[in-house]
Amino acid sequence: MKLCVASQDEVAFESGRVTLRGLAPVLNGARLDDTQLNARGTEDGAALRLTAPGLGGAALDVTIRRRDAHAWELRYALVGDPGVEVDSFGVCFEAVENLRAYLQNGYYSWDGSRYLEPGAAQAAPGYAMTQLLPRVGEGSVLLGFDRHDCFQHTFRVEGAGGAPSLAIETVWDRKATTGERRDSETLVIFEHPGVEDSLRAWARVVAAAAPVPPRVPDQPITGWCSWYNLYAAITENNILEHLRGAVAVRDRENLPLRIFQIDDGFTPEMGDWLQVKPQFPRGMKPLLDDIRAAGFTPGLWIGPWMVGNRSQLYREHPDWVVRDRLTGGPLPVMAFYGEFRWHKRSEEYYTLDTTHPDAFDYLRTVFRTWRRDWGCEYFKTDFMHFPTVHGPDRAVWHTPGLTRIEIWRRAAEMIREEIGDATWLGCGCPLWASVGLVDGIRIGRDIGVEWRGGEQSAESLLRDQATRNFTNGILWQTDPDCILLRDRFHHLSDVELRSLAIYAGMAGGVVMTSDALDELSAERVRLFKLLLSSERAICRFPLLGTHDPVSVQVRWSAGEQTPSVAAIFVFNTGDAPAQRMYSLARLGLDGAWHITEWGAGRAWPEPVERIAVTLAPHDSALLFASRQPPDAPPDRLP
């Protein structure tokens, strides 16, 4: 990619894939017209000053320098007084040429990531980075920030046709400043011959720049979670019943299950984290001790920032929640006014104001108690996005002048300090602010019991696992959510359930289920055993960005630079039958390979350099490829 400063009024990053041309300032979400550009450029960088009437008495200074032979770094600073409160600021590339699709990268677990064409109706802003795919040619161009512990960063593609624009902003959140200069983090820009490998390259940039190195556990996070079987209807007795069943199946089948986690339902209201319902008469410590004695790591669920309006915490400390600038009252993030109350009594849920010293100390006490006194060793923290939802136009915090991410990060760092080396899974969690703190992170919404149906269905898994897979093993372990294995009480066919289970398990990250293991059929136990591994794995989506309803995953052991055994999973997510043929080289496996079909255990007679499959709607094929003829049909993913 080449930087061109052709004149005083044109700056461009030119490549044979996608070209970014023209710069304009952006303030509070609006691109400013009548921009005046003063530029000084060389082959290795440029210094630019952008002025416009909408900036008032301020200017936008842009510095570009070569990062290495393949990448550029761009930083911008708002200098002077623009005459308005600054919620966000940045730059806009006025024309993106040869653009076919771009990655709208969501911010937290549940908002999803997807490839969109310019002008798409779903064009909300993306966060942290975007990837641009060329209309003509292969590969990609990637733009992404290196640091995420202070600010959110947004990316918005606007317009359709030949050359839409790309606006990039730092969410400043009216942060207090000394002087009249506001600096962005560093934006890295590079082109790449690949798609998923380009995303992995950006993830490594983030890992290297993070103030705390990423936490990537040596072994996969595997185990059992109570939610999708018992939901909130948990008691000490039925938890112990499931524990006995899990122990029996684990020991009989030699399953590498490590975690046994009690999910939501043991506390009376959100916020009252040191109280326990009567259904747990001994309290939580003896129950966690029982789990540990059974050979599992004991875990608990918590929504650290959630405060229900019926909680004792809110009744005694109404000043510990974030206020609404418009009403003066508490600012609800969630509300349940009808018949459904989400297993609690509260009608509204507020955000714990961790900028209030007493509220911060309370949350510290909760995690200290759970870790040191109760003996919790696995923390599933949920609804972690609460503090990031509203900016200062709505949210009034006890201590002003901080960005929402600075507030979030300060409390999250305290959580890690208190739980020590315990395993931490973030759910409903800001992805990019979590680097260096969490061990695993949910990459989509809750699993559902049907194929389609919006938020709680297979749709999120099918979309988000592919577009967020690149972070696995670099920034954290990815969590596709619990895998359904039971034969009843869902609306999935046997083919759909098997396909979805393998699709989730192929990721090589977190593998959990909520089903009663001693109630599973022998076939479903065999399926679960297939997905469980004692070693981390590399999973790739070699056809990412093609918009084909047939998805392909390739997986091998993370300990191998060049795989000797690989799993290939071909999944027809569409509603029509599909036939596909792939060269193994296109899937990253050069040469000829011996193929064994999982399920039937049938070995192909000769090594091959390409595979062909015919799949019914929602059906799939799992193939094991090996350099040498296998001694026996594989029974676990590599």
pLDDT, residue 111, reads 94
42: which strand partners?
A: 45
| pLDDT value, residue 122 | 66
Q: Which CATH architecture has domain 550-626?
A: Sandwich (2.60)
Alpha-carbon span 455 to 446, nearest angstrom: 7
Is residue 259 within 8 A of residue 222, CB to CB? The reply is yes
Per-residue model confidence as pLDDT tens digits over 111-147: 999 999 998 876 689 999 999 999 999 999 999 999 9
Query: Is residue 11 scored above 80 in pLDDT?
Result: yes
* Strand stretches in 371-457, DSSP E: 378-381, 395-396, 423-426, 440-442
Residue type, 237: N
Percentage of the chain beyond pLDDT 90 is 90
CB-CB contact of 446 with 224 (8 Å) = no
In whole angstroms, give the CA distance from residue 44 to residue 424.
Answer: 42
Give the mean pLDDT of 403-410.
98
Locate all alpha helices (DSSP H) within 320-446, ordered by sequence: 357-368, 404-419
The amino acid at 91: V
Enumerate the β-bridge partners of residue 622.
Answer: 569
- Reduced to 3 states (helix: H, G, I; strand: E, B; else coil), residue 203 is helix
- Does the domain at 2-209 match CATH 2.70.98? Answer given as yes
Residue type, 535: E
Residue 403 contacts residue 184 (beta carbons within 8 Å):
no
Residue 439's pLDDT is what?
98
Strand partners for 476: 472
For residues 193 and 202, give the distance between their C-alpha atoms in angstroms, rounded to a whole number: 14
SS3 track for 501-531: HHHHHCCCCCEEECCCHHHCCHHHHHHHHHH
- Per the CB < 8 A criterion, the answer to whether 412 and 406 are in contact is no
Among 541, 304, 340, smallest CA distance to 434 is for: 304
* pLDDT at residue 255, rounded to an integer: 97
**44: which strand partners?**
none
Report the C-alpha gap between 618 and 638 in whole angstroms.
24
Mean pLDDT value of segment 141-164: 94
Nearest-angstrom CA–CA distance, 599 and 613:
15
Contact 85, 30 (CB under 8 A): no
Tell me the C-alpha distance between 227 and 233, whole Å. 9
pLDDT of residue 453: 83
Place 9 in a pLDDT band, splitting at 50, 70 and 90. Answer: low
Q: Does pLDDT of 8 surpass 70? A: no
CATH number for the 222-301+358-536 domain, one of 3.20.20.70, 3.40.50.150, 2.30.110.10, 2.60.40.10?
A: 3.20.20.70
**Chain mean pLDDT for the chain:** 96
Question: 63 near 91, Cβ under 8 Å?
Answer: no
Report yes or no: 393 and 322 within 8 Å, Cβ to Cβ: no
Going by the DSSP 8-state scheme, the letter that residue 372 receives in this structure is I
pTM, entire model = 0.96
Alpha carbons 426 and 119: distance in angstroms, whole number: 33
Q: Is residue 600 very low, low, confident or very high in pLDDT (cuts 50, 70, 90)? A: confident
**pLDDT bucket at 456, cuts 50 / 70 / 90:** confident
Query: What region does 69 belong to: left with phi over 0, alpha with psi -120 to 50, or beta?
Result: alpha
The two structure tokens encoding residue 315: 């009744």
3-class SS shares of the chain: helix, strand, coil, % to 5: 20, 30, 45
* Number of residues that this document lists for the chain: 638
Q: What is the mean pLDDT of residues 406-416?
A: 98
Q: Rounded to the nearest 10 degrees, how much is the dihedral formed by the CA atoms of 422, 426, 430, 433?
A: 10
Cβ neighbours for 614, distance < 8 A, ≥ 6 positions apart: 577, 578, 579
| CA nearest neighbour of 444 among 87, 12, 60, 106 | 106
Contacts of 187 (CB under 8 A, 6+ apart): 73, 74, 75, 143, 144, 145, 146, 153, 168
Domains of the chain, by residue range, sit at 2-209, 222-301+358-536, 550-626
With CA atoms as reference, report the closest residue to 15 among 58, 72, 77, 84: 72
**Is the pLDDT confidence value at 43 over 90?**
no
Three-class SS of residue 457? coil
Residue 533 has pLDDT above 90, yes or no: no
